[in-house]
Chains A and B, each alone.
Chain A
Amino acid sequence: MKTFWQRFLTNPRVVCGLIWLGLVTILAIFAPLLAPSDPFAIVAEPFKTPFSEYVFGTDSLGRDMWAGLVHGARTSLLIALIATVSAVAFGTMVGGIAGYYGGFIDDILMRMTEFFQTIPSFIFAIVLVAILTPSATSIIIAIAIVSWPPIARIVRGEVLSVKGREFVQAAIIAGQSDSGILLKQVLPNTLSPLIVTGSLLVATAILVESALSFLGLGAPNLMSWGFMVGSGRSFLRDAWWLVAIPGVAILLTVLSINLVGEGLNDALNPRLRDL
């Protein structure tokens, strides 16, 4: 039997995904070095074609597309990661407590989860951002609030199945406290579905963030891919690269995350695929 890493890293789709994600991460981390100028600064005349003076040309106001792409990577990744981590943390807490204690607590928490799940998530996110006034924080909050319910349901289901296993009873008999059992015995055994769902959630978060920025609900002083697509949209016939460059960046990033997420799933649950 191969180990997890052997299964994970020999999967060609995972390797492709990781290469692109690595590239985007480097762009995001070293953005100030790779494009020292402010991405909102007007550096040249508008509509300069790519591969001329500027690698990716300039947009309708003469802003450097390369700087926008690099700083946009930073915004997308940061917002998506923080939002996902918050959603996973909150969802795990709710699902863990609901599944472990059961009964009345479970009923209350799960009805609350369903309440959030039944609201159309994108419209809900738009409303939240509009109420909270657009900023990086409000976008993160909005994405986290619409993303945690599925996590809570998955964790609850896993906890329900794990808590019936005998090692949990053994921990009770050893005298471990409820919180100790939940954190040290039960939750570590729910990790694999959580990692897979969490990684796919990052992709959704990037899409939601881009969509919000596209609609003009992005953070006003942060360059973002969605904002670039949105502002280049009216010039699609004359300057295709204004939309194509950030659009392809979103596409490849979301695709890569999905490939890696699927790869994680295959590597963590090998039997599902093999038998």
Chain B
Amino acid sequence: MSDMVLSIQNLKVDLPVWSDRAHAVDDVSISVREKEILCIVGESGSGKSIMAKSILRLLPEPHVRVSGGSIMFEGNDLLDVADEHMRFVRGGRISMIFQEPMAALNPLMRIGRQIDEIIEVHTSLTASKRREKVIALFDDVRLPEPERILTSYPHELSGGQRQRVMIAMALALEPALIIADEPTTALDVTTQAQILHLMKDIQRRHGTSILFITHDFGVVAEIADRVAVMRYGKLVETGTVNEVLSSPTQDYTKALVAAVPSMTPRHRPSERPENSILVINNLVKTYAARGGVFGGKSKAVHAVAGVSLKVPNGHSLALVGESGSGKSTLARCIVGLEQSNSGEILLDDINIAGLSRTELRPYRNTVQMVFQDPFSSLNPRQKVGDIISLGPMLKGTKKDKAWEDARDLLCLVGLDPKAVERYPHEFSGGQRQRIGIARAIAMKPKLIIADEPVSALDVSVQKQVLELLDDLRKSLSLSMLFITHDLRVAAHVCEEIVVMRNGVLVEQGATANIFSNPQHEYTKALLAAVPGEGWQQRS
């Protein structure tokens, strides 16, 4: 077949002996056609990234190595060619875009030089010609002020701009294939939407093929021509984007598609209770950058600039915003991890703003927190029982009783009560997040602050954890402040939404109203940026 750009046949990649399975990639055959975007979708551990890396021979050998199959590209088997030829292929014929552009760029080299270097190595253009080409590339990826970017260092650019630079770099030598490994995962939704749009546009204009790796079906719906679904190193299903998204044949694909949080808010009773568990009035939190030993002017950063909101009793309020919006700082002020500068935090009508950690102790029962990263939120040196019973024991509960309660709590969050005797590393991300939730409710709080509790989890696990939070909220009549960057998740669990940007609230209202009739421009932009929006409304 002549229209194949890349054809992978029966690829097998071995994992080291101590891993939980023998093959990272197990007998996978897929091909990328000319001028198409093939999305490889899979959850963490599916082998999708390892497969992409094996194409350019970037595996961490000798522990992870290809043990069989072939990767045909432009008439050669990339597994067999000499290193010399491989260098020509890398960058020249196949280029790669990584997830974290900050890590992929050299922080000590000006952007212009980094791209210039690639062209210099692979072509014989003169310096002035190369410079013209770099500027043309910057225009191509819609970078503003190309002259300024040429002489900038990576840290002077925003995340979106850095990813545009990476795309320009990938395009520099007009490769036949671009491999993009989760290129938008580290970006905010609105930036993600722009980058996806750009990649699609560039692919059309240059006729490049793209192998796009992602975990997000929303992104797939936005960008893919064809889709390959992977799980445990095996290929589950391939097909055109319409086939796979609207009529998947395999159970796993069906489950994955069903787990994507829907844009339609759940129907919820609309009456709002009179009393509020949490009332925030005009809260301000300013960070002063420390001047250091030699003084120097300190710069004030307004993380939260006068926010007022209410969490009604038994309600769930979503605080939605992109990175840098101040949403996490607000949460940290409420639980006393940060001291606010001014304003009130009324918890059960008592103002706790400005109290020290010791003064806050009597109120620890009222508000508890669920954290974002399940791998950092549990102490690896403590047993699960100790982790869950810490709060109650500090409140004076006897150890036997606290552990007994911990067993009950584990049952409540859907884990085996015997888990109290085990250590956190024995659990998966989703299970750890359940333990984190058990720890929060062990204090019998009235209010739970959940800071991006599902953003580190795979979609299928994400759905289960959201369901769990929702069930617990009903059965224990908890109130919740749910912090998220993802409107889809907010729609799933919350009655009301407030949208935050640059430290201030831009819009608040009932979830259904926000989705059907957003007022503020920024809310509209956020809604429009949700990947796969069109597909979701169709289905």
Contacts and interface: CB of A to CB of B under 8 A. Distances in A.
B443 interface: yes
A38 B223 CA distance: 87
A25 interface: no
Given A169-B371, A170-B369, A188-B381, A2 B18 contact: yes
B337 A173 contact: yes
Interface string A157-186: 000000001110111111111101000110
Interface string B28-67: 0000000000000000000000000000000010010000
Nearest to A107: B293
A165 B381 contact: no
Contacts of B387: 167
B16 A274 contact: yes
B204 interface: no
Given A175-B391, A176-B394, A169 B379 contact: no
A1 interface: yes
Contact of B377 (A107, A166, A188, A189): A166
B378 interface: yes
B63 A274 contact: yes
Interface in A186-205: 188-189, 191
B444 to A, nearest CB: 12
Contacts of B63: 274-275
Contacts, number: 67
Contacts of B254: none
Contacts of A274: 16, 18, 63
B390 A174 contact: yes
Chain A: number of interface residues, binned into ranges: 20 to 34
A175 B436 CA distance: 16
B373 A173 contact: no
A113 to B, nearest CB: 16
Nearest to A171: B390
A184 B373 CA distance: 21
A158 to B, nearest CB: 13
Given A171-B390, A175-B364, A166 B335 contact: no
A174 B368 CA distance: 8
A175 B336 CA distance: 10
A195 to B, nearest CB: 13
Contacts of B208: none
A1 to B, nearest CB: 5
Contacts of B436: 170
Contacts of B361: 175
A165 B376 contact: yes
Contact of A1 (B18, B364, B369): B18
A206 B188 CA distance: 57
A274 B376 CA distance: 23
A173 B391 CA distance: 8
B357 interface: yes
Given A1-B18, A167-B379, A274-B16, A176 B390 contact: yes
B505 to A, nearest CB: 24
A173 B394 contact: no
A191 B337 CA distance: 26
A170 B438 CA distance: 12
Interface string B286-313: 0000000100000000000000000000
Given A175-B361, A185-B379, A169 B391 contact: no
A170 B372 contact: no
Chain B: number of interface residues, binned into ranges: 20 to 34
Contacts of A275: 60, 63
Nearest to A177: B358
A175 B369 contact: no
B337 A169 contact: yes
Contacts of A2: 18
Contacts of A171: 379, 390
B161 to A, nearest CB: 27
Nearest to B369: A173
Contacts of A172: 336-337, 357
B534 interface: no
A184 B357 CA distance: 18
A175 B394 contact: yes
B377 A173 contact: no
A166 B381 contact: no
Contacts of A185: 379, 382
B380 interface: yes
Contact of B336 (A107, A167, A173, A188): A173
Contact of A166 (B16, B18, B367, B372): B372
B439 interface: yes
Interface string B349-391: 0000000011011001001110111001111111000010011
Nearest to B372: A166
B18 A189 contact: no
Nearest to A174: B391
Contact of A167 (B364, B368, B376, B443): B376
B423 to A, nearest CB: 12
Contacts of B87: none
Interface in B391-442: 391, 394-395, 436, 439
- Which of B16, B60, B391 has its CB near the most chain A CB atoms (within 10 A)? B391
- Which of B337, B361, B390, B395 has its CB near the most chain A CB atoms (within 10 A)? B390
A169 B331 CA distance: 12
A2 B17 CA distance: 11
A175 B379 contact: no
B378 A167 contact: yes
A170 B382 CA distance: 13
20 contacts: A166-B372, A167-B376, A167-B377, A169-B337, A170-B377, A170-B439, A172-B336, A173-B335, A173-B336, A173-B364, A174-B364, A174-B439, A174-B443, A175-B391, A175-B394, A175-B395, A185-B382, A274-B18, A274-B63, A275-B63
Given A169-B337, A275-B60, 6 more contacts: A2-B18, A166-B371, A166-B372, A172-B357, A174-B364, A176-B390
The 3 A-B pairs at the shortest CB distance, nearest first, are namely A174-B391, A166-B377, A166-B371
